[in-house]
Chains A and B, each alone.
Chain A
Amino acid sequence: MTRRSLGSTMRAATILLALAWASAPAAGQMARARTIAGCPPTAAAFHPCALEKAKAFNPPRTPDGHPDLQGLWEAPMASGLGNIEGRRAADDEYQTGSPTSLVVDPPAGVIPYQPWARTQRRENAAKYVDPYTHCLPISAPRIMASPRTRQIAMYSGHLTVVNESGGHPFRVIYLDGRPHLSADLKLWRGDARGHWEDKTLVVDTTNFNGLSWFGSGGDFFSDALHLTERLTMVDANTIDYAVTVDDPKVATRPWTIAFALERNQEKGYEQMEEGCFESDRDTADLLLTGFQMYAGPRFPK
């Protein structure tokens, strides 16, 4: 079997697994049976617990003295952000995602969409093709949450995040104090700048074109999106990842999701090539069933 077809098989297997998981009545209990860094694996419980543990943890450092976040990381709680607010009884059975909400603020666990945007999110899932399905680039927070690994590597003045699945989208995060690009320059993956606040890496990302989704459930954003991510080591093999989403064109107030990044400890693991557009461009059939191509937020007139 060639690696290319193996990639497709793995993608199909992931979907099947997600389906099986979604339809298993005991899924919630199974998820709760495991802990991550000694914390419960639901966002509302994990995030405060992990930050408390992080206070006492002295992380390994790079030569320039910053916490060493390097390595291959998985996101077992995030389920690819398939449904950020958690699966509900009313959801279509094919939807994947975390069984419980990843939203830690507002505390109710619900995204504070403007009313029209709440409707549009539902329409997106029902009538539109997830741009990621035809291999358009994903960015934060989805590239921090998708299946398999993402590799963080740190260099002088910048760090990189290279995602394994979905045609290996990557981010370069500059830490050298340079300003953001001009607001006129919109990008699929945005423009990321980072800085350290004590032991936490804070990443500020702007300049999005607003044409992709947070996840396959249709959660979306506009070109006004401003992300603030916070990465804090909890122990040697766990990062607490939290991102605050500020998008005044779509939501009534900023909101925050959180999940764990867990180190892949498989010896000799290497990210392998995964062509995406070259082999998996199978949107024609979806369009025949009446699905439409997503062209960005449909703002009320």
Chain B
Amino acid sequence: MFARTRVWSWRIVVLFVSALAIGSFESAGFGGQPAVAQSLSAALRRTSDGKPDLSGIWQAMNAAEWDLQDHAAAKGIPAGRGIVEGNQIPYRPEALLKKKENFKNRETADPVTKCFLPGVPRIMYQPYPFQIAQGPKQITILFEYVHAVRNIFMEGSHYPGQIDWWLGDSRGRWDGDTLVVDVVHFNDVTWFDRAGDFHSDALHVVERYTPTDLDHIQYEATIEDPNVFTGPWKVSMPLYRHKEKDAQLLEYECFAY
């Protein structure tokens, strides 16, 4: 009994000391950020206007191109862990039937099998590199896949009216060290993956690009489409910097071959 009480009191002391340590850690960064976050933040490369510099050649490393959700391997498709938070996509019942139909016909019905532009966020997790070229008013993303281009305008607002673009109308802003991109004006043609996950032209995507160190960006996209889903859902994944010497974009012109 006594011995057990001593163990407990040791635990309490340890907890108390830990709490003190954390407290002092935080107070060291009072008025700013905690020390750990501060050193991380200092490690980011920054542009002359103080924003994180996302320039470089990046690529996702996952199997979401084939299926956003956890999936087993099949011919030509590696097994993969999904990038959907919670691994569930909240389809409306009738939309789920459509997704299953798409899945059955995926080898020919996926627009990417025709080399069409793949939409957002799919273009960010296709298995090809892309280059971020960052200016203060405009961030441009150049892709190897069919020389696609995304212009993210940091000024101005979405065009009014109904527009059906393959890659949407992207407007960016900074939320601390996170680039937030609001994308609307999609067509209803593109799919999220080879597995038939789809959307309507009411799709609204909000992307968050958070650099976590010099060579990684944590990418998140929140997806809303009331015609197809019962609520918003989210994908998240790291983007990795290409570190090869003299890395440069080459080409994958898809429909030229």
Interface residues of chain A, those whose CB is within 8 Å of chain B, are: 2-4, 63, 135-137, 153, 155-156, 160, 162, 167-170, 172, 174, 178-179, 181, 185, 187-189, 211, 268, 270-273, 275, 277-278
Q: Is B147 an interface residue (CB 8 A)?
A: yes
Q: Which 4 A-B pairs have the closest CB atoms?
A: A273-B165, A178-B246, A168-B149, A3-B163
Which among B116, B187, B256 has the greatest number of chain A C-beta atoms within 10 A?
B256
Partner of A137, one of B131, B156, B166, B253: B253
Residues of chain B within 8 A (CB-CB) of A273 are 165-167
> Complex Cα distance A121/B236, Å?
52
- Other contacts beyond A2-B162, A278-B117: 4, CB < 8 A: A4-B187, A155-B135, A270-B153, A270-B156
| B83–chain A nearest beta-carbon distance, Å | 25
- Using A136-B253, A278-B117 as known contacts, say yes or no to A271 and B133 having CB atoms under 8 A apart: no
Residues of chain A within 8 A (CB-CB) of B148 are 168
| B102–chain A nearest beta-carbon distance, Å | 19
Partner of A155, one of B133, B250, B253: B133
Partner of A3, one of B142, B149, B165: B165
Which among B135, B165, B187 has the greatest number of chain A C-beta atoms within 10 A?
B165
Interface residues of chain B, those whose CB is within 8 Å of chain A, are: 48, 55, 115-117, 131, 133-135, 138, 140, 142, 146-149, 151, 153, 156, 162-167, 187, 246, 248-251, 253, 255-256
Residues of chain A within 8 A (CB-CB) of B133 are 153, 155, 160
Q: In chain A, what residue has the closest Cβ to B201?
A: A2
Interface of A is mostly: loop
Residues of chain A within 8 A (CB-CB) of B250 are 185, 187
Interface of B is mostly: loop
Judge whether B147 and A168 touch: CB under 8 Å.
Answer: yes
- Using A167-B147, A170-B149, A172-B142 as known contacts, say yes or no to A188 and B166 having CB atoms under 8 A apart: no
Judge whether A188 and B253 touch: CB under 8 Å.
Answer: yes
Q: List 23 A-B contacts (CB under 8 A).
A: A135-B255, A136-B253, A136-B256, A137-B251, A153-B140, A156-B55, A162-B149, A162-B151, A167-B146, A168-B147, A168-B149, A170-B147, A181-B248, A185-B250, A187-B250, A188-B251, A189-B147, A211-B256, A268-B156, A270-B156, A271-B151, A275-B166, A278-B166
> Complex Cα distance A156/B47, Å?
10
Judge whether A174 and B149 touch: CB under 8 Å.
Answer: no
Q: In chain B, what residue has the closest Cβ to A185?
A: B250
Judge whether B117 and A187 touch: CB under 8 Å.
Answer: no
| B56–chain A nearest beta-carbon distance, Å | 11
Q: In chain B, what residue has the closest Cβ to A178?
A: B246
- Using A188-B256, A277-B115 as known contacts, say yes or no to A4 and B164 having CB atoms under 8 A apart: yes
Q: In chain B, what residue has the closest Cβ to A172?
A: B249
Which among B131, B148, B253 has the greatest number of chain A C-beta atoms within 10 A?
B253
Judge whether B147 and A187 touch: CB under 8 Å.
Answer: no
| B110–chain A nearest beta-carbon distance, Å | 14
Judge whether B251 and A189 touch: CB under 8 Å.
Answer: yes
Residues of chain A within 8 A (CB-CB) of B156 are 268, 270
> Complex Cα distance A174/B131, Å?
13
> Complex Cα distance A136/B254, Å?
10
Judge whether B163 and A2 touch: CB under 8 Å.
Answer: yes
| B234–chain A nearest beta-carbon distance, Å | 25
Residues of chain B within 8 A (CB-CB) of A153 are 133, 135, 138, 140
Judge whether B142 and A170 touch: CB under 8 Å.
Answer: yes
> Complex Cα distance A167/B145, Å?
12
| B256–chain A nearest beta-carbon distance, Å | 6
Q: In chain B, what residue has the closest Cβ to A70?
A: B135
Residues of chain B within 8 A (CB-CB) of A277 are 115-116, 146, 255
Residues of chain B within 8 A (CB-CB) of A172 are 131, 142, 248-249
- Using A268-B156, A277-B115 as known contacts, say yes or no to A137 and B142 having CB atoms under 8 A apart: no
| A129–chain B nearest beta-carbon distance, Å | 14
Which among A162, A181, A273 has the greatest number of chain B C-beta atoms within 10 A?
A273
| B139–chain A nearest beta-carbon distance, Å | 10
> Complex Cα distance A185/B146, Å?
17
Residues of chain B within 8 A (CB-CB) of A275 are 116-117, 165-166
Q: In chain A, what residue has the closest Cβ to B190?
A: A278
Residues of chain B within 8 A (CB-CB) of A135 are 255
Judge whether B165 and A4 touch: CB under 8 Å.
Answer: yes
> Complex Cα distance A191/B250, Å?
9
Residues of chain A within 8 A (CB-CB) of B135 are 153, 155
> Complex Cα distance A102/B147, Å?
28
Q: In chain A, what residue has the closest Cβ to B246?
A: A178
Residues of chain B within 8 A (CB-CB) of A188 are 251, 253, 256
> Complex Cα distance A50/B55, Å?
35
Judge whether A3 and B164 touch: CB under 8 Å.
Answer: yes
| A65–chain B nearest beta-carbon distance, Å | 14
Residues of chain B within 8 A (CB-CB) of A271 are 151
> Complex Cα distance A81/B43, Å?
48
Residues of chain B within 8 A (CB-CB) of A278 are 116-117, 166
Judge whether A174 and B165 touch: CB under 8 Å.
Answer: no
> Complex Cα distance A94/B116, Å?
30
